[in-house]
Amino acid sequence: MTWKTSGRLAWCSLLLHFAVSQIIPGALGQTWRYIDNTGGDPNTGEMPTYSPSDKWAGGQNCPGCEAQPDKNSAFQGSWQDGTYHSNDTQPLSVSFTFNGTALNVFCIMDNQLGYTTLTSLTFNLDDETVGPPFIHPPDTTQPPYQYNVSVYSNSSISDGVHQFTMFAGGINDSLVLFDYAMYLYQDGSVTGNAAPSSSSSPSSSSSSSSSSTPSSTVIPSTHKSSSNLGVILGATFGGVALLLIVVGLLWLLRRRREQDQNTDVTAYPVQAVHPQASFVSSTLPPSLTQNVILDGVTSPSLTTWNVASPGSTVPYSPPRPITAASLREAEIKQQLRHYEQTVAVLRQREGSVYGSSSRSASDRTTSTAREENRRLRQEIAVMHAEMERLKEEHRSLQWEMEAAPPPEYGQAIEYDREHGVMESGTNG
């Protein structure tokens, strides 16, 4: 599978994930609701409970508080400020109830020094400890305040009403700036309060996750939104349509990949038109080199001869029988190719020697280079003379082969002469 196909499949997987996580949950009546630190849950009227009450204050209206985040960056412009000291008689806590299958709790982190800014938290869900503790020491390399930091996240909660409590206690002093919480509500309607939005993106600080299954009694919600059958059916059919589109795209990509693989191995007919080619057809692509037997000698490439284009038919002469003359002709061709390559190498070497001698300031070096060039020119002249001799011999062999009778006819004449059937061209 190529990387392009893998990329297409990845996009299809993202579309499928969007359909499953967004469209289908909306069709089934799943919606995110929020619980604000001061406004509470607008759907149920549930308000967070802070303990001890005298240790908490509305941070947006607390000029005496040391932590002063930006109101415009906090959710709905408010947060709850509380500081725990190790010598306190009881821990700080904030608790609330919710009816859902997932929960996310968000706080503001203070990265300044000079007062208590360490945030150390533990969590209870239905009177059971869940998730690892959350600890955030002040980080001066980050902005003074970090908003929308998820301190607890759990997407594996059984459907029903649950009690959640967040604690700050133990041996460490801890600052808690609680902002809001979000939970996934299950209902037969797609209505519900909107998810919070902020100009600041959520921080990448550590968050905890738990999959506890509490055994609490499911209490009906005090607020039930009216179901909208048309919206549910529309969202359902939209999700199904999107799934069908994704499946169709996957099928098309699979078919395209199979076609690409078949194209890579398509055989193209190749025919040599040289009259002495014994091996005249192949099933190789036009760009691939294939050895061809010419009169018993292997030629290194088809590129010397005319090659038929894919799908075309080029007539060719039948191969001639192997004779002593044809073998000698092939040998001459091979020797000529060898001499041509040798001459090219010698000329290249001659040029390099000349260049090095021209750059040298030594008379001795220059004299040696000239002697080397003279010797190379002599070798090239010898090679040219031998090539001319071979070409002349080649022309003579071609004339003999063209003038010679067919092998079958020549063999018949030799047989008649040996057996006295024919003398001097006449029959006795």
Residue 221 has pLDDT above 50, yes or no: no
Task: Verify that 376 and 282 share a domain, yes or no.
Answer: no
Any domain includes 255: no
Residue 72 burial by CB count (10 A; 0-12/13-18/19+): exposed, middle or buried?
Answer: exposed
d(CA 176, CA 85): 11
d(CA 82, CA 65): 9
What local confidence, expressed as pLDDT, does residue 414 receive? 59
Any domain includes 256: no
pTM for the full model?
0.44
* H or E element in which residue 82 lies: strand 80-84
Query: Which of 333, 324, 332, 293 lies closest to 404, judged by CA?
Result: 324
Task: Verify that 341 and 325 share a domain, yes or no.
Answer: yes
69-75 contact pairs (CB < 8 A, 24+): 69/108, 69/110, 69/145, 69/147, 69/177, 70/145, 72/199, 73/145, 73/147, 73/198, 73/199, 73/200, 74/108, 74/147, 74/179, 75/34, 75/36, 75/106, 75/148, 75/179, 75/180, 75/196, 75/198
Q: Could you identify the residue written with the tokens 């063999």?
A: 411
What local confidence, expressed as pLDDT, does residue 305 receive? 42
Task: Verify that 230 and 356 share a domain, yes or no.
Answer: no
Regarding predicted confidence, which is higher, 186 or 347? 186
CATH of the domain at 106: 2.60.120.260
Query: Which of 95, 25, 29, 37 lies closest to 69, judged by CA?
Result: 37
d(CA 67, CA 107): 13
Task: Verify that 100 and 12 share a domain, yes or no.
Answer: yes
What local confidence, expressed as pLDDT, does residue 61 receive? 92
Task: Verify that 300 and 342 share a domain, yes or no.
Answer: no
Which of 181, 212, 245 is at the close of a domain? Answer: 245
Angle ∠(415,418,424) on CA atoms, nearest 5: 90
Which of 260, 293, 320 is at the close of a domain? Answer: 320
**Contact, 94 vs 119, CB < 8 A?**
no
Task: Verify that 81 and 163 share a domain, yes or no.
Answer: yes
Any domain includes 59: yes
Task: Verify that 149 and 217 share a domain, yes or no.
Answer: yes
Which residues touch 297 (CB under 8 Å, ≥6 apart)?
327, 330, 331, 333, 334
Query: Which of 185, 188, 160, 158 lies closest to 29, judged by CA?
Result: 188
**Backbone dihedral region for residue 131 (phi beyond 0: left; psi -120 to 50: alpha; all else: beta):** left
Any domain includes 253: no
Any domain includes 280: yes
- Provide the domain limits for residue 378: 321-428
Any domain includes 21: yes
Confidence tier at 204 by pLDDT (50, 70, 90): very low
Task: Verify that 219 and 293 share a domain, yes or no.
Answer: no
What local confidence, expressed as pLDDT, does residue 190 receive? 44
Task: Verify that 315 and 365 share a domain, yes or no.
Answer: no
pLDDT digits (tens, 9 = 90+) for 153-184: 999 999 999 999 999 999 999 999 999 999 99
Q: What percent of the chain has pLDDT over 90?
A: 35
Any domain includes 209: yes
Number of domains in the chain: 3
Residue 94 phi/psi, 5-degree rounding, is -135, 130
Q: What would the mean pLDDT of 109-135 be, rounded to a whole number?
A: 95
Report the DSSP pairing between strands 161-168 and 134-136. Answer: unpaired
Confidence tier at 310 by pLDDT (50, 70, 90): low
What local confidence, expressed as pLDDT, does residue 202 receive? 41
Residue 89 phi/psi, 5-degree rounding, is -80, -20
Any domain includes 250: no
The string of DSSP letters for 174-233 reads EEEEEEEEEEEEE-SSS--PPPP--SSPPP------------PPPPPPS--PPP-HHHHH
d(CA 42, CA 298): 89
Cα radius of gyration (the chain): 46
Query: Which of 30, 42, 111, 32 lies closest to 76, judged by CA?
Result: 42
The string of DSSP letters for 149-176 reads EEEEEE--PPSSEEEEEEEE-SSS-EEE
Task: Verify that 105 and 13 share a domain, yes or no.
Answer: yes
Which residues touch 99 (CB under 8 Å, ≥6 apart)?
44, 160, 161, 162, 183, 185, 186, 219, 221
Task: Verify that 206 and 352 share a domain, yes or no.
Answer: no
The length of the chain in residues reads 428
pLDDT digits (tens, 9 = 90+) for 362-387: 666 677 877 887 888 888 888 888 88
HSE (side-chain half, CA atoms, 13 Å) at 233? 3
Q: Which of 49-53, 242-246, 254-258, 284-288 has the lowest mean pLDDT?
A: 284-288
3-class state of residue 357 by DSSP: helix
Task: Verify that 72 and 109 share a domain, yes or no.
Answer: yes
Residue 33 burial by CB count (10 A; 0-12/13-18/19+): exposed, middle or buried?
Answer: buried
Which of 230, 245, 260 is at the close of a domain? Answer: 245
